[in-house]
């Protein structure tokens, strides 16, 4: 074991409290070994120990040695738990109305326990000397309970798990099952109460005063729980477990009773089904809890089903001293030699006189009764018999059975689903799955073991017994589709062949729209990749297929023009951004010129005689399906792009020279235009040359006169930063 070994040496009197030392060592150690004084003798002439003893002012004598084996990996050093109640799968069933007394705690434990919030603290958390308790929540609410040690110096830890829908042994691997717990190193009472802490208390020094109670957990109705109580201090004093406080109910409200009964082997065997789990310990082994009327034969024994590996049972098997006459009988409850009937886990008894009818049939061989419904492509057949079959009489190589049908079928092995050597189901393993539809027959024959099969009454089922079943074909969901391309809408026709008896179809298009027809048509006015899934079934076999279909006939005419304001010295560049399949392009530049190229060359427009002129540039795209689309961009061609500021303006709203602004600043970026009055006050500022000063300041008309202006910008083509200043006259 990885770790270190520490040797503690001290005189026999006084000794440190070994129990407390062990509890403290819980934080780091997995086990402690105390070697009694009479087992160790230190020779007086040993120089080392004489020096040690002298420093302790004691005489040489017997010593107690404590060896602490510390395992930093958190593992446990103990024998595995095998007794009933000491494993999750054999937990004690408990009831909220009674206290549970555990008088001794056998030493065992070999598995780690996950404790949320305590990982990495070096403690070894595990099923050390545990007992497990199981219960179901019947009314949702809080659960309170108290674990009271017979010796209040004992240290008990506990953890609660919700195992609903899980294997009980999952508590060792699935930390999500943990509900709450308490692992403090302090001794005394522990449990769940209103005064408990809201978190799981980790391992601690017993002198630290850690709270040994957790807050009461909230149980959920219908959920199943396991409570593990771990006895850390290796003593045999035991404890009491009682449920108190809280408002959850873990007491089954149904009263115990009998459900039904059946007879086998001419009535020499009778089986009784109980309405709930009941205590195995309350069943009289001699069967004296029951009587059969009319009185025939004698009950010689009673066995609780599952009592060999658990504490409770839901069925009882009665053995009579021999077969009885066929007919109808009644099985009744009475107080047996153990002075009770049967008790449930809350110690409630089945009423004396409670009874169930039972019919005894003549003894005869058990026939081939039925076969479980076969699924798709079965490679195993399950035969069901009316009575129990002796599993030892089944030929393991499957030679007791022959399967015939439309295609050859070979049985390669056979085995019973058995408990105690008996079972009502025999599984036949086939050499390969049956994938062909048709009627098949299973025939019983004498196997290589020299017999057919025997039931529990030792009666052999005659050869030649048969049972029939139907198998279905496997199916294939593969489908076909055909695309009809359109200018605005694409049409896709989907179809499935319906082979092998397929009678159910479910199409799913793009994860949403559905259809349940064998063939269907979809219309798409938004093109691109489309997803299709088809699930088919013939009632037994099913299959699913999927495909992605690319509708690549998207048609979109689109282009950009740079620049859209064209100065006399500029050329216009047109960039085609259209989406089309195998397209033809037609450009019309609005000035009488055209182009059939996808990407036309640079275009130079003739400057107009007027200040500006607009041209509508159009692109028409025609794809391979003769569909067309058109895009248009308006281009402004200018006769002057020289930036200048007027020397005067007349803001009288006559539409002529009403504003002061930098003219033709088409190629100016980062522009700033400022206007100042003769006092040097800023009366106008803009960064947008198309915003013009109208001769007002804060809504007030400014007086006529001379105004100074400043203009800064960066030339778009050259990147040059320019600065100009001047004056302009406001005339009214």
Q: Are 370-471 and 648-730 in the same CATH fold? A: yes
pLDDT (tens digit, 9 = 90+) per residue, 655-712?
999 999 999 999 999 999 999 999 999 999 999 999 999 999 999 999 999 999 999 9
- Say how far apart CA 588 and CA 90 lie, in whole Å: 89
- Domain segments of the chain as ranges: 4-70, 88-243, 258-360, 370-471, 559-638, 648-730
Among 555, 556, 515, which Cα is nearest to 532's? 515
pLDDT on residue 67: 35
pLDDT band of 78, cuts 50, 70, 90: low
CA atoms within 13 A on the CB side of 31: 14
* pLDDT, position 98: 82
Secondary structure letter of residue 49 according to DSSP: H
- Give the integer Cα–Cα distance in Å for 578 and 555: 8
Phi, psi of 61 (to 5 degrees): -165, -175
pLDDT value at position 49?
A: 34
pLDDT in tens, 154-187: 999 999 999 999 999 999 999 999 999 999 989 9
pLDDT band at 56 (very low <50, low <70, confident <90, very high): very low
User: For all residues of the chain together, what is the average pLDDT?
Assistant: 88
Within a 10 A sphere around the Cβ of 13, how many other Cβ atoms?
9
Q: Which residue has the higher pLDDT, 20 or 419?
A: 419
Lowest-confidence region among 40-54, 200-214, 243-257: 40-54
Asked if 410 and 430 count as a contact pair (C-beta separation under 8 A), the reply is yes
Unique residue bearing structure tokens 């609780």: 304
Please say whether the beta carbons of 371 and 401 come within 8 A: no
Give per-residue pLDDT as tens, 494-540. 999 999 999 999 999 999 999 999 999 999 999 999 999 999 999 99
pLDDT of residue 672: 97
**Going by CATH, does the domain composed of 258-360 fall within 2.60.40.1130?**
yes
2 prior amide bond cis, ω within 30: no
DSSP states along 420-441? TTEEEEEEEEESS---S-EEEE
Check whether 286 has a pLDDT greater than 80.
yes
Q: Quick: pLDDT tens for 467-478.
A: 999 999 999 999
Which DSSP category does 287 fall into?
Answer: S
pLDDT band at residue 207 under the 50/70/90 scheme: low
Which residues are bridge partners to 299 per DSSP? 320
- Residue 650's Cβ-count burial label (10 Å; 0-12, 13-18, 19+) is middle
Task: Read off the tokens for 209.
Answer: 């005063």
Encode pLDDT of 384-425 as tens digits: 998 999 999 999 999 999 999 999 999 999 999 998 899 999
pLDDT score, position 419: 87
Cα(475)–Cα(655) distance, integer angstroms = 83
Task: State which H helix or E strand residue 264 sits in.
Answer: strand 258-264
- The single residue listed with the structure tokens 């206290």 is 99
pLDDT of residue 79: 85
Percent of the chain with pLDDT strictly greater than 90:
80
- The residues pairing with 15 across neighbouring beta strands, listed in sequence order, are none
For residue 155, CA distances in Å to 104, 233, 235, 400, 532 come to 14, 6, 10, 60, 64
Q: What is the CATH topology of the domain spanning 559-638?
A: Immunoglobulin-like (2.60.40)
- The residue among 193, 185, 286, 311 whose CA lies nearest residue 243 is 193
Mean pLDDT for 553-575 is 94
pTM above 0.75, yes or no: no
Cβ within 8 Å of residue 403, ≥6 positions away: 381, 409, 410, 411, 428, 430, 440, 441, 442, 443
Q: Tell me which of 61-70, 92-101, 238-247 is least confident.
A: 61-70
Instruction: Characterize 657-668 residue by residue with b for buried, 16 or more Cβ atoms within 10 angstroms of its Cβ, and e for exposed.
Output: eeebbbebbbbb
Cβ contacts of residue 619 below 8 Å, gap of 6+?
557, 558, 559, 574, 576, 578, 585, 586, 587, 630, 631, 632
Q: Tokens for 271?
A: 């089986």
Containing 542, the helix (H) or strand (E) segment is strand 542-551
Over residues 326-356, the pLDDT tens digits come to 999 999 999 999 999 999 999 999 999 999 9
- Per cent of the chain over pLDDT 70 is 89
Q: Which residue has the tokens 């003549």?
A: 362
Q: Which two tokens stand for residue 229?
A: 């109580």
pLDDT at residue 65 above 50? no
The answer, yes or no, to whether residue 131 has pLDDT greater than 60, is: yes
* pLDDT computed for residue 34 by the predictor: 36
* Position 486 pLDDT exceeds 70: yes
Q: Regarding the domain delimited by 648-730, which CATH topology (the fold level of the hierarchy) does it fall under? A: Immunoglobulin-like (2.60.40)
In the chain the first and final C-alpha atoms are separated, in Å, by: 105
Q: Write out the H or E segment, with its range, that includes residue 178.
A: strand 178-182
Strands 565-566 and 628-638: parallel
- Residue 122: per-residue pLDDT: 73
Q: Please give the pLDDT value at position 124.
A: 81
DSSP for 563-593? -SEE-TT--BEEEE--B-SS-EEEEE-SSS-
Sign of the alpha-carbon torsion through 442, 443, 448, 450 = positive
Query: Edge-to-edge strand order for the sheet containing 92-93?
Result: 92-93, 130-136, 224-231, 156-162, 178-182
- Is residue 97's pLDDT more than 90? no
Is a pLDDT exceeding 90 seen at residue 88?
Answer: yes
The pLDDT score that the predictor gives to residue 232 is: 83
Least confident stretch, 234-248, 447-461, 678-692? 234-248
Task: Decide if 374 contacts 381 (C-beta within 8 A).
Answer: yes
pLDDT band at 53 (very low <50, low <70, confident <90, very high): very low
CA distance 326 to 236: 55
Residue 499 is encoded by which pair of tokens? 């082979």
CA–CA distance, 661 with 692 (Å, rounded to integer) = 5
Provide the 3-class DSSP secondary structure of residue 22. Answer: helix
**What integer is the mean pLDDT of 2-24?**
36
Which 8-state DSSP code applies to residue 702?
P
Q: Which CATH class is domain 370-471?
A: mainly beta
3-state helix, strand, coil in the chain (%, to 5): 5, 45, 50
């Amino acid at each position: 074991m990885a770790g270190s070994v520490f040797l503690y040496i001290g005189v026999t009197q006084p000794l440190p409290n070994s129990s407390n030392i062990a509890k403290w060592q819980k934080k780091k150690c997995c086990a402690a070994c105390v070697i009694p004084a009479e087992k160790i003798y230190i020779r007086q002439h040993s120089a080392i120990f004489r020096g040690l003893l002298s420093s302790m002012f004691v005489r040489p004598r017997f010593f107690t040695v404590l060896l602490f084996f510390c395992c930093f990996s958190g593992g446990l050093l103990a024998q595995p738990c095998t007794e009933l109640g000491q494993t999750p799968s054999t937990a004690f069933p408990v009831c909220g109305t009674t206290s549970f007394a555990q008088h001794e705690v056998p030493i065992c434990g070999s598995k780690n326990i996950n404790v949320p919030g305590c990982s990495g603290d070096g403690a070894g958390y595990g099923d050390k000397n545990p007992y497990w308790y199981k219960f179901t929540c019947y009314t949702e609410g809080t659960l309170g309970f108290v674990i009271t040690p017979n010796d209040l110096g004992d240290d008990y830890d506990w953890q609660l798990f919700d195992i609903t829908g899980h294997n009980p042994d999952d508590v060792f691997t699935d930390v999500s099952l943990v509900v709450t717990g308490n692992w403090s190193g302090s001794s005394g009472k522990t449990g769940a109460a209103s005064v408990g802490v809201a978190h799981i208390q980790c391992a601690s020094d017993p002198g630290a005063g850690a709270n040994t109670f957790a807050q009461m957990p909230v149980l959920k109705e219908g959920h199943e729980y396991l409570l593990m109580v771990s006895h850390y201090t290796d003593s045999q004093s035991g404890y009491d477990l009682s449920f108190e406080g809280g408002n959850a109910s873990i007491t089954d409200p149904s009263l115990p009773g009998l459900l039904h009964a059946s007879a086998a082997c001419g009535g020499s065997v009778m089986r009784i089904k109980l309405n709930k789990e009941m205590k195995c310990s309350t069943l009289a082994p001699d069967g004296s809890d029951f009587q059969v009327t009319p009185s025939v034969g004698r009950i010689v024994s009673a066995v609780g089903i599952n009592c060999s590996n658990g504490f409770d049972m839901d069925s009882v098997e009665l053995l009579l001293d021999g077969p009885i006459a066929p007919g109808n009988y009644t099985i009744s409850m009475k107080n047996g030699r153990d002075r009770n009937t049967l008790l449930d886990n809350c110690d409630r008894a089945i009423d004396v006189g409670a009874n169930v009818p039972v019919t005894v049939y003549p003894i005869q061989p058990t026939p081939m009764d039925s076969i479980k419904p076969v699924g798709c492509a079965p490679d195993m057949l399950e035969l069901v018999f009316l009575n129990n079959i002796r599993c030892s009489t089944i030929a393991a190589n499957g030679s007791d059975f022959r399967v015939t049908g439309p295609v050859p079928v070979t049985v390669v092995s056979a085995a019973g689903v058995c408990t105690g050597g008996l079972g009502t189901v025999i599984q036949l393993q086939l050499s390969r799955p049956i994938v062909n539809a048709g009627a098949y027959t299973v025939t019983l024959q004498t196997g290589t073991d020299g017999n057919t099969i025997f039931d529990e009454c030792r009666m052999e089922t005659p050869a030649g017994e048969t049972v029939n079943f139907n198998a279905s074909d496997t199916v294939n969901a593969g489908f076909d589709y055909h695309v009809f391309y359109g200018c605005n809408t694409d049409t896709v026709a989907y179809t499935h062949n319906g082979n092998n008896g397929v009678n159910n179809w479910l199409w799913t298009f793009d994860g949403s729209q559905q259809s349940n027809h064998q063939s269907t048509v979809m219309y798409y006015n938004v093109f691109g990749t489309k997803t299709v899934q088809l699930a088919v079934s013939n009632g037994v076999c099913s299959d699913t297929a999927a495909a992605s279909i690319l509708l690549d006939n998207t048609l979109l005419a689109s282009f950009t023009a740079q620049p859209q304001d064209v100065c006399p010295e500029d050329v216009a560049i047109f960039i085609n951004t259209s989406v089309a399949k195998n397209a033809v392009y037609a450009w019309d530049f609005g000035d009488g010129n055209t182009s059939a190229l996808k990407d036309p060359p640079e275009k130079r427009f003739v400057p107009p005689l007027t200040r500006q002129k607009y041209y509508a540039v159009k692109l028409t795209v025609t794809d391979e399906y003769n569909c067309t689309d058109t895009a248009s961009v308006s281009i402004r061609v200018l006769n002057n792009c020289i930036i200048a500021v007027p020397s005067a303006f007349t803001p009288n709203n006559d539409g002529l020279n009403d504003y002061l602004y930098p003219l033709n600043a088409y190629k100016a970026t980062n522009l700033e235009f400022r206007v100042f009055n003769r006092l040097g006050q800023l009366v106008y500022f803009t960064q947008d040359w198309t915003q013009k000063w109208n001769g007002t300041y804060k809504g007030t008309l400014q007086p006529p006169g001379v105004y100074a202006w400043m203009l800064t910008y960066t030339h778009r083509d050259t990147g040059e930063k320019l600065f100009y200043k001047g004056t302009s006259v406001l005339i009214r």
